[in-house]
């Protein structure tokens, strides 16, 4: 355990409002069980002039997952005790159903249910009721990989888990959180705030950016154990204090939550029990982020250093980057400088990784490679051995193709370079037996777009852009949940005669959904 760099920490905290611009925010830092930073700035609601303070409630969103898993360990103990109840939620899954432990570790193979709302016809500003979740799960027929073999973020894992905990205990999730988490941790104002349309204590989330300005976000979804907790900065610091207070108890809740995890092939996993495991050089950290339209939250905990950082924004700046920036400052380890050597433009290309069904777009910008696997761009640097890598992805050349590895996801595969232009003959209607929904693609002049019809309604038109070969990308920049699924890879399937027979649609959170052409 080391001391911290107080001067660097003070400077980092002071720079947050300008580095991560938006209506308001809050930051907390705890060292050796004591709060050493507790600050807020800006406005919880600029329209009314309500200032942000450490006592303003905000949705902590997916940080709730570790607390849901904490309830499970405290209430039930062995997660496998609930395995036999999963059949009632996933009655139509073919092959092996995932286990409760695989749900907790995001190794279930279940496609994310918020991403699937797009394929079920939801509008991004529509309503998603509590009663809509179970019919969506019941429609699931396949997993997008063998349970246990890979990591894929799936909010539905924790939604199912919280429903099972209510069923097992006969108590509401709100009661379970109060008894097992909020009470023991001293989180006085924390609560289950499942309905995202309901006001908190004046804090308004904002979409937008410094260029176009900020405007209040509209949310109309109901979530529970996946992301339903609201808390103040003071509550989150109480959670960090509880973690530190129980650090030497081998049976302590956070120690049990943060035990090392592994995939079914024995390789180490970087996620388990609602916690992401990462490193800042030689310092191991656990934590999680949270996102709802208009809010971004992040907490990081370095157990060996007894150091925690919490960032809370009522806007959509990068809270993860902010938390890393503050923690690195406290540790006296600023982010290492990237190589300034320009990268060969021959890396540029468009690829398809067959097992995940995801398209990979590679562009070069000076000394950096930007790799977009259907979502946000990952920045990679080329090392001495000629491979490109970041903390989550590595790429190495194999002729014209790329060998792709994402160690944290346990995904390894060949990304084949795509050649040629797409053929623009995809207009029509397509049916998916997996989602029991329709995709209709239309041309408007020379532009293409598609919308989904399903049990959640008729969705908006989503732009379809040619990618390469027989691959398109369908864009969903806004959705019910946040962040949105981004770009969906759309692979065209053809008969031997070259006639379009169907499509395979997938994004990082929901891969390889088959649609057959019906008209």
Per-residue pLDDT tens over the stretch 209-263: 999 999 999 999 999 999 999 999 999 999 999 999 999 999 999 999 999 999 9
Asked whether the predicted pLDDT for residue 153 surpasses 60, the reply is yes
Asked whether the predicted pLDDT for residue 371 surpasses 80, the reply is yes
> How far is Cα 337 from Cα 117, in angstroms, rounded to an integer?
40
Asked whether the predicted pLDDT for residue 375 surpasses 90, the reply is no
Compute, in degrees rounded to 10, the torsion defined by CA atoms 97, 98, 103, 105: -160
Per-residue pLDDT tens over the stretch 438-453: 999 999 999 999 999 9
Per-residue pLDDT tens over the stretch 272-319: 999 999 999 999 999 999 999 999 999 999 999 999 999 999 999 999
Q: Does 446 qualify as catalytic in the annotation? A: no
Asked whether the predicted pLDDT for residue 376 surpasses 90, the reply is no
- How many of the other CB atoms lie within 10 Å of CB of 471? 19
CATH number of 428-517: 2.40.128.50
Residues of the chain with pLDDT > 70: what percent? 100
Asked whether the predicted pLDDT for residue 339 surpasses 80, the reply is no
Helix (H, G, I), strand (E, B) or coil at 158: helix
Per-residue pLDDT tens over the stretch 463-516: 999 999 999 999 998 899 988 999 999 999 999 999 999 999 999 999 999 999
Q: Does 65 qualify as catalytic in the annotation? A: yes
Q: Which CATH architecture has domain 6-77+173-331?
A: 3-Layer(aba) Sandwich (3.40)
pLDDT at residue 1, as a whole number: 56
Query: One of 31, 64, 65, 359 is an active-site residue; which one?
Result: 65
Asked whether the predicted pLDDT for residue 189 surpasses 70, the reply is yes
Is the pLDDT higher at 344 or at 112? Answer: 112
Identify the band that residue 327 occupies on the pLDDT scale cut at 50, 70 and 90: very high
Identify the band that residue 3 occupies on the pLDDT scale cut at 50, 70 and 90: confident
Q: Given this structure, which CATH class describes domain 345-417?
A: mainly beta
Element containing residue 177 per DSSP (H, E): helix 173-177
pLDDT at residue 473, as a whole number: 97
Which of 171-180, 197-206, 232-241 shows the lowest per-residue confidence on average (mean pLDDT)?
197-206
pLDDT at residue 374, as a whole number: 72
Query: One of 62, 108, 308, 437 is an active-site residue; which one?
Result: 62
Which of 131-145, 230-244, 370-384 shows the lowest per-residue confidence on average (mean pLDDT)?
370-384
On the 0-12 / 13-18 / 19+ scale of CB atoms within 10 A, 171 is: middle
Domain residue spans in the chain?
A: 6-77+173-331, 345-417, 428-517
Contact 156, 113 (CB under 8 A): yes
6-77+173-331 matches 345-417 in fold: no
Asked whether the predicted pLDDT for residue 67 surpasses 90, the reply is yes
* Beta-strand relationship, 358-365 and 275-280: unpaired
pLDDT at residue 483, as a whole number: 87
Element containing residue 11 per DSSP (H, E): helix 6-19
Which residues lie below 8 Å from residue 303, measured CB to CB, with a gap of 6+?
247, 258, 284, 286
């Amino acid at each position: 355990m080391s001391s911290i760099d107080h001067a660097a920490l003070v400077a980092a905290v002071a720079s947050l409002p300008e580095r991560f611009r938006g209506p308001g925010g809050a930051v907390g830092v705890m060292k050796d069980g004591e709060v050493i930073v507790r600050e807020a700035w800006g406005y919880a609601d600029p329209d009314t002039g309500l200032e942000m303070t450490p006592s303003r409630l905000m949705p902590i969103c997916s940080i709730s997952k570790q607390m849901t898993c904490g309830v499970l360990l405290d209430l039930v103990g062995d997660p496998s005790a609930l395995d036999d109840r999963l059949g009632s939620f996933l009655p139509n899954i073919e092959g092996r159903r995932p286990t409760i432990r695989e749900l907790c570790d995001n190794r279930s193979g279940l496609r994310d249910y918020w991403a699937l709302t797009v394929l079920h016809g939801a509008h991004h500003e529509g309503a998603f009721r509590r009663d809509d979740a179970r019919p969506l799960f019941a429609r699931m027929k396949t997993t997008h990989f063998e349970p246990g073999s890979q990591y894929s973020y799936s909010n539905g894992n924790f939604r199912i888990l919280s429903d099972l905990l209510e069923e097992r205990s006969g108590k509401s999730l709100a009661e379970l959180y109060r008894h097992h988490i909020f009470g023991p941790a001293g989180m006085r104002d924390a609560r289950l705030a499942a309905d995202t349309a309901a006001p908190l204590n004046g804090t308004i989330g904002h979409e937008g950016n410094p260029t176009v300005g900020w405007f209040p976000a509209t949310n109309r979804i109901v979530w529970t154990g996946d992301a339903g907790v609201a808390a103040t900065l003071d509550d989150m610091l109480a959670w960090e204090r509880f973690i530190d207070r129980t650090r030497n108890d081998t049976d302590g809740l956070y120690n049990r939550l943060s035990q090392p995890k592994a995939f079914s092939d024995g390789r180490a996993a970087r996620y388990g029990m609602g916690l992401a495991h990462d490193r800042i050089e030689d310092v191991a950290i656990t934590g999680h982020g949270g996102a709802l339209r208009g809010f971004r939250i992040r907490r990081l905990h370095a157990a060996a250093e007894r150091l925690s950082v919490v960032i809370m924004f009522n806007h959509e700046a990068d809270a993860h980057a902010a938390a890393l920036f503050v923690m690195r400052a406290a540790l006296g380890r600023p982010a290492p400088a990237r190589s300034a050597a320009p990268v060969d433009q021959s890396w540029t290309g468009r690829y398809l990784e067959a097992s995940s069904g995801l398209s990979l777009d590679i562009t070069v910008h000076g000394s950096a490679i930007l790799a977009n696997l259907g979502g946000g761009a990952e920045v990679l640097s080329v090392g001495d051995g000629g491979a490109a890598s970041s903390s989550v992805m590595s790429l190495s050349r194999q002729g014209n193709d790329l060998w792709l590895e994402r160690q944290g996801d346990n995904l390894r595969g060949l990304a084949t370079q795509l050649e040629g232009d797409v053929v623009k003959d995809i207009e029509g209607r397509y049916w998916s037996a997996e989602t029991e929904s329709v995709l209709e693609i239309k041309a408007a002049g020379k532009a293409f777009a598609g919308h989904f019809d399903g049990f959640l309604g008729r969705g908006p038109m989503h732009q379809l852009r040619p990618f390469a070969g027989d691959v398109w990308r369908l864009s969903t920049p806004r959705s019910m949940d946040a962040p949105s699924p981004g770009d969906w890879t759309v692979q065209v399937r053809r008969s031997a005669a070259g006639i379009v027979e169907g499509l395979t649609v997938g994004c990082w959170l929901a891969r390889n959904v088959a649609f057959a052409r019906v008209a």
